[in-house]
A and B are shown apart, each in its own frame.
Chain A
Amino acid sequence: MANERYFGDGLTYLNPSDLKGKLIAIEGTDGVGRSTHIEMLQEWLEVQGYGVITTGWTRSNLMSKTIEVAKKGNILDRWSFSLLYATDFADRLEHQIIPALRSGFIVLADRYIYTAFARDVVRSGDPKWIRDVFGFAIVPDLVCYLRIDVETLALRVIETQGMNYWESGMDLRLGNDLYDSFKKYQASLINEFDKMAEEFAFEVVDARKPPEEIQEELRAKILPLLNSNKPDTLSQPTGQRSSASSTA
């Protein structure tokens, strides 16, 4: 059955209408600082008493090894490439994300389906197929997009972990060396993210700002989401609740 919580053709065997938690996706290209901010957000939320789980790209039990092996083999065509990630995502969705949402957790997703969209579209030019494939995804309550320009990104990546084969999109043969390829590949990814930011109403955060400022902005965007669906906040004395339930 069609359900608005699903992105497209959903899971027919799973009704998502009782998902109490909140799903927050942090998107952005490689090396933009997503994981650092997710760590800080988790800390901030847990201090306030919210249950939090984080989930990240290629971290599923089923697929993480497989994807590693496949990447080493460097034999991936466009479809296998996207489908491996879709399988990884489905495994995490069904075994981590949905159960956590059902139990009322806040799920912080380090990348979401939009990363897969960007990567596939850059390789194929066809936005339709990959969106159909991810039809079973749950639509997030909030997508924060850490936006950066490719010049700043290149400097930052060189200073930190260095450029690698996949983040440079070397499979696409866009440039003669890692640097040229990185810039062209990341520029087209950023371009795709920018387009999707409008289409899917991402909350855009400028990732060139100092980390503290970015974190403040992210928290400000998350806050309304929490208040709207959490009646028993700290302001409400816990004693009241227990007495209310005992009289019921």
Chain B
Amino acid sequence: MTPPVLTLDQPHPLPGKLIIVEGIDGSGKSTQLLLLKKWLESKGYNVFFTEWNSSELVRETTRRGKKSKTLTPTTFSLLHATDFASRLYHHLLPPLKAGMIVLADRYVYTAFARDTVRGVSPAWVRKLYNFAIRPDMGFYFKVPIDVAMGRLLGGTRAQVKYYEAGMDMGLSQDITESFRMFQSRILAEYDKIVSEYGLITMDATKDIEEQQNEMRQLVSSALANYKPKRGTHGKRTLFWRRFDLPKSE
């Protein structure tokens, strides 16, 4: 009845590979992960992509909690952990068991940084997520707050969201200023996490293609001993994907 022990402390025994990216909004991590995905697919790997977003069940609950303004740092943290648990079980575990490469846009470290800034005990939130699978590779896209803000405000996502700006924490009445303060604290937490969990720090102020080349080299050497199970669709995926891939090799 006892399943294999999967914890954040130990390398997992599963045949697949888990690669994750972390960084604040505007660090460019999602762009980099997308480009990595295109590249891996073009090489014929079976790739599975997953994001740190909420399930319907938890989204509904969070909405209720936000509306009544009763969410506390602890319930906020627990709700996201619940969601992560169900995502781990339904989305991450099957492809990893099937030997696929799983790419995750944000992982538990997002919770470590954000929930600690919101006020839960750093030790507690780490124990809370100890059921997570340890990633094979973790990239942290490090960017100064001003660069990130410039990207966000100048880009398509001009609207900074209430909770992402930490507006509920009462740091500042101005949403942009609150965002700056909140995300700066998150940056400080990330710095601790990077050394604690051995994440690879990427200079996210560099050009997109330069970062991507570095990332591909690192992934390439990490996958040296990886024996993928190639599905019959591998070649076909390559053929069709080629046409919408301006930046890929």
Tell me the minimal C-beta distance from B205 to chain A in angstroms.
34
B2 on the A face (CB < 8 A):
yes
**A66 in contact with B124 (CB, 8 Å):** no
8 Å CB contact of A125 from B1, B58, B71, B86: B1
Most central of B72, B88, B130 by chain A CB within 10 Å: B72
The bracket for how many chain B residues form the interface is: 20 to 34
**A62 in contact with B61 (CB, 8 Å):** yes
Would you mind naming 28 contact pairs between A and B with Cβ atoms under 8 Å apart?
A: A8-B124, A9-B123, A10-B121, A11-B73, A11-B74, A11-B121, A13-B73, A62-B61, A62-B64, A62-B68, A66-B61, A69-B60, A77-B85, A79-B85, A79-B131, A80-B85, A83-B78, A87-B82, A90-B74, A91-B75, A95-B70, A125-B2, A132-B124, A132-B127, A132-B130, A133-B128, A136-B121, A136-B124
B57 on the A face (CB < 8 A):
yes
8 Å CB contact of B119 from A12, A83, A84: A12
**A80 in contact with B82 (CB, 8 Å):** yes
Q: Which residues of A contact B65 (CB under 8 A)?
A: 62
B120 on the A face (CB < 8 A):
yes
* A interface SS class: helix
B79 on the A face (CB < 8 A):
yes
Tell me the minimal C-beta distance from B116 to chain A in angstroms.
9
Q: Which residues of A contact B121 (CB under 8 A)?
A: 9-12, 135-136
In whole angstroms, how far apart are the Cα atoms of A9 and B124 in the complex?
Answer: 6
**B57 in contact with A129 (CB, 8 Å):** no
A189 on the B face (CB < 8 A):
no
Tell me the minimal C-beta distance from B207 to chain A in angstroms.
40
B40 on the A face (CB < 8 A):
no
Q: Which residues of B contact A125 (CB under 8 A)?
A: 1-2
Interface on B for A, CB 8 Å cutoff?
1-2, 57-58, 60-61, 64-65, 68, 70-75, 78-79, 81-82, 85-86, 88-90, 119-121, 123-124, 127-128, 130-131
A63 on the B face (CB < 8 A):
yes
A61 on the B face (CB < 8 A):
yes
Q: Sort A-B residue pairs by CB-CB distance and give the 7 closest, nearest first.
A: A79-B85, A9-B124, A132-B127, A77-B89, A83-B82, A87-B78, A9-B121
Tell me the minimal C-beta distance from A169 to chain B in angstroms.
12
Q: Which residues of B contact A73 (CB under 8 A)?
A: 57
Q: Other CB < 8 Å A-B pairs besides A8-B124, A80-B89, A87-B82, 8 of them?
A: A12-B120, A66-B61, A77-B90, A79-B131, A125-B2, A135-B127, A136-B74, A136-B124
In whole angstroms, how far apart are the Cα atoms of A112 and B27 in the complex?
Answer: 43
Q: Which residues of B contact A75 (CB under 8 A)?
A: 86, 90
8 Å CB contact of A129 from B64, B120, B123, B131: B131
A107-125 interface code vs B (CB 8 A; 1 in, 0 out) = 0000000000000000011
8 Å CB contact of B75 from A69, A77, A94: A94
**A84 in contact with B82 (CB, 8 Å):** yes
A57-68 interface code vs B (CB 8 A; 1 in, 0 out) = 000011101100
A39-70 interface code vs B (CB 8 A; 1 in, 0 out) = 00000000000000000000001110110011
8 Å CB contact of A133 from B70, B71, B127: B127
In whole angstroms, how far apart are the Cα atoms of A125 and B88 in the complex?
Answer: 19
